[in-house]
Amino acid sequence: MDKISVTLGERSYPIIIANGLLHDPTSFWPLSRGDKAMVVTSDCLASLYLGILYELLTELGVIVDQCILPDGEQYKSLAMLDKIFTTLLQKNHNRDTTIIALGGGVIGDIAGFAAASYQRGVRLIQVPTTLLSQVDSSIGGKTAINHPLGKNMIGAIYQPNSVVIDINCLTTLPRREFSSGLAEVIKYGIVFDANLFAWLELNIDALRALEQHTLAWCIRRCCELKAEIIASDECEKGQRVLLNFGHTYGHAIETNMGYGNWLHGEAVAAGMMIAVQTSCSLGYLTNTDAERVRMLLLRAGLPIQGPTEMSLEDYLPYIIRDKKVIAGQLRLILPLTLGSAEVRTYVANELPNFT
């Protein structure tokens, strides 16, 4: 079992990584006998893991309720958030309850936002079941729901009490979803860690084959990077903003194409490649490094360009509303070399041409 700490003073919490944690009662700190918990999950995951988790929690003496949501990005909505609140109220959950987010990024985001909001904040345990959520979205406290005009526009930063990563969950993950998660892994290499990027070039095939030792090392390294960043910049005033590399364009793709039609990692991969090409055109990143990024994304089973039906004009409304816009100026994250990136600021009519 690996344990990594996200160091935030009194709000510090562990990230626990191992095989078989859904069968290990000691993993679910701070729950104990007599506590009450609400498991929030999706209908497809309920059939796979809800019974296992329910048995484990009842063995601990925890009183367990459940809220099952439809599966998909299009359901990360105000209506589904209200369903969670309604279930909590109907089952008489108080401020001492714990919400357990059992699922991928969608479940983690919406259940986390519910935990941040319900009775002004209750305990939260993230149990990420996808690669994307295990290496990125379950860590750091970003919670949100989508709006038809923009992704993740309504939410809060609210840290969990713990993150429980059972690597075995990846064995039931559809291949497309696994590739989607690899986009966030590759992001870390491009923006923060050139050695990780080089390691991925050597080990991407083993990762896609679910080789256990390779998976465990990769997940741990990404969690270490994310934990370091959150500890130094919890509220995205500095280095944390670099984690949004590729997301400005990616969120525009997801929203414009309809939530769920492009997976988050697919849209981010296309967005990263747009940012890479932009960096090359401005004279920052070399063509050689850009080609390395392109090849790694292809080998990971990810797209390297946005939807052909989207023009620059289609991107602009979402880019202008991006959460990184400050005083009318858009901050784009552009890689300078592999393992290093910086923020560049533009106004709307000065945006680099990325079509």
Q: According to the annotation, is 98 in a ligand binding site?
A: no
- 111-120: average pLDDT: 98
Strands 142-147 and 150-157 turn out to be: antiparallel
The pLDDT-based confidence of 352 (bands split at 50, 70, 90) is low
Q: What residues are labeled active site?
A: 120, 142, 184, 226, 236, 240, 244, 247, 251, 264
Helix 287-299 with 264-281: angle, nearest 10 deg: 170
Whether residue 112 contacts residue 143, with contact meaning beta carbons closer than 8 Å, is answered with yes
Instruction: Tell whether 87 is in a known binding site.
Output: no
Pair type for strands 13-18 and 2-6: antiparallel
Question: What is the spatial distance between Cα 190 and Cα 185, in angstroms, rounded to a whole number?
Answer: 9
Q: Is 26 annotated as a binding residue?
A: no
Summarize pLDDT for 209-253 with one digit per residue, the tens.
999 999 999 999 999 999 999 999 999 888 999 999 999 899 999
Q: Over 80: is that where the pLDDT of 92 sits?
A: yes
Ligand-binding site membership of 207 (annotated): no
Residue 331: its pLDDT value, please? Answer: 78
pTM: 0.94
The average confidence (pLDDT) of the chain is 94
Domains defined along the chain, listed by start: 2-172 (3.40.50.1970), 175-350 (1.20.1090.10)
118: nearest Cα among 138, 95, 101, 140: 95
pLDDT of 325 above 90: no
171 marked ligand binding residue? yes
**322 carries a ligand binding annotation:** no
Q: Is 151 annotated as a binding residue?
A: yes
Output the six-digit token pair for 129.
């079941």
